[in-house]
Chain A
């Protein structure tokens, strides 16, 4: 029973058809939460006593930084699935996750730089968290670049999976070594183990926005995965029937 559920994921067609609905719901959830969290965060949440209004970029910066790291982890999981079970969909997931994750990572770096100017007086400092985020962006770029160097998509997928896995094992080491090297960044805004230091009127919209960005990432992921499925399976009959139906 459980294995049957697992085997369904081996069929790109099954995924393409099912994911349409998931993508639809993820998109709506993202939109509603995003409007709610952003309006609350930008207009209703109280002003920070130290940073004034500039802290409000937190409602963008923290969710995208969260996701940039979470998506790399997701990519490593997909890499294991690809290398162990040789599932085509995992390869497509790696490809989509690399692009979406890289976008979130760049967004986190840019929003952090914009936040850094009023808070620290400079766009960029060589601080631990900034640096490890930059390295993360390089790792994402490496995976995107490696894929583009191959003609054979299957070979490209597996090479990327190996690289993603090595990167994922190395990432904690990079993080700790960079942290040891220099620490200036304010500690994490939200931790799972502790109660946040800010009032509920500040962190509830942040939590809403984190959920919103997760849903948005799922939406983007499914959208690009479905496109990639169509492109990979362009010679399959069901795709050609789909195309003919649209014409």
Chain B
């Protein structure tokens, strides 16, 4: 467990070194959600109806915001290259890093959704379901955004490219999460769909790190 602990401790130190990085996606989410009533209408019934979908899309984009930085710094200072020599599979190290990233950066972001939910006049029991869908689905989103970051590591013009490349792959997550929320609004059972969402997250957590490892290895072998 020593190696795993070292990766987690390192991530924690990095987060603590620049706590502002955690606030940036939250800020983004707040600003985007605040613009909606201004652009649409302050009518609370309308806002409550489309609110969950808006929060979902805004959270999605907020997660994608730090896609590029996810692996870039570690790649440039050589940490990722070192991990390839560690006595653990490279993909495993990356999975730990993604999990830590999710825990330290994405979960705080999700925890402010009740606040923006109330701003959009969404009912409390729907907010709870929304929160759970986000918690269950964001591991998959983190994995995909990591893959986007890893694929564009060696790219020269990559600013929004990774986002554009990855967004279509998010479709199943968005559809399932929206299904769960619609059912919760109608008062129907959400268990089976939530299970599907969790299954997607687990499958992504299992396989995407392998693809990320392959994508990072390309850059380690080639460009140096």
Contact = CB atoms under 8 A, between A and B. Distances in A.
Interface of A: 83, 135, 138-139, 141-143, 145-146, 148-152, 154-155, 158-159, 162-163, 165-167, 169-170, 173-174, 177-178, 180-181
A177 B165 contact: no
Which of A139, A142, A165, A180 is the most central at the interface, judged by chain B CB atoms within 10 Å of its CB? Answer: A142
Contacts of B154: 150, 152, 155, 159
B172 interface: yes
Interface of B is mostly: helix
B200 A173 contact: yes
B174 to A, nearest CB: 9
Contact of A177 (B155, B171, B214, B215): B171
Given A145-B161, A159-B151, A83 B214 contact: yes
B191 interface: no
B151 A163 contact: yes
A159 B215 contact: yes
B66 interface: no
A162 B148 CA distance: 11
A150 B151 CA distance: 10
Chain A at the B interface: SS class: helix
Given A145-B161, A146-B161, A159-B151, A152 B171 contact: no
A82 to B, nearest CB: 11
Given A146-B151, A150-B154, A170 B169 contact: yes
A165 B147 CA distance: 12
Given A159-B151, A180-B175, A149 B218 contact: no
Scoring B158, B208, B218 by chain A CB atoms within 10 A of each residue's CB, the highest score goes to B218
Contacts of A142: 164-166, 168
B152 interface: yes
Nearest to B174: A177
Nearest to A137: B168
A30 B105 CA distance: 55
B218 A159 contact: yes
Contacts of B219: 155
Given A152-B154, A177-B176, A181-B179, 11 more contacts: A138-B167, A145-B165, A149-B152, A149-B156, A152-B223, A155-B154, A155-B222, A158-B218, A167-B168, A177-B171, A178-B171
8 contacts: A135-B168, A142-B165, A142-B166, A146-B165, A155-B218, A173-B172, A177-B175, A178-B175
B6 interface: no
Contacts of A163: 151, 165
Contacts of B165: 142-143, 145-146, 163
A167 B218 contact: no
Contacts of A83: 214
Contacts of A141: 164
A129 to B, nearest CB: 14
B157 interface: yes
B156 A151 contact: yes
Most chain-B Cβ atoms within 10 A of its Cβ — which of A141, A165, A174? A174
Contact of B158 (A138, A139, A149, A178): A149
Interface in B90-117: none
A181 B161 CA distance: 28
A162 B211 contact: yes
A156 B15 CA distance: 32
A183 to B, nearest CB: 13
B218 A166 contact: no
B90 to A, nearest CB: 14
A138 B168 contact: yes
A143 B215 CA distance: 14
Contacts of A177: 171-172, 175-176
B56 to A, nearest CB: 14
Q: Which 10 A-B pairs have the closest CB atoms?
A: A149-B155, A142-B165, A138-B168, A177-B172, A177-B175, A173-B172, A181-B175, A135-B168, A159-B151, A174-B171
A75 to B, nearest CB: 15
A152 B152 CA distance: 12
B206 to A, nearest CB: 12
A154 B222 contact: yes
Interface string B181-220: 0000000000000000000100000011001001100110
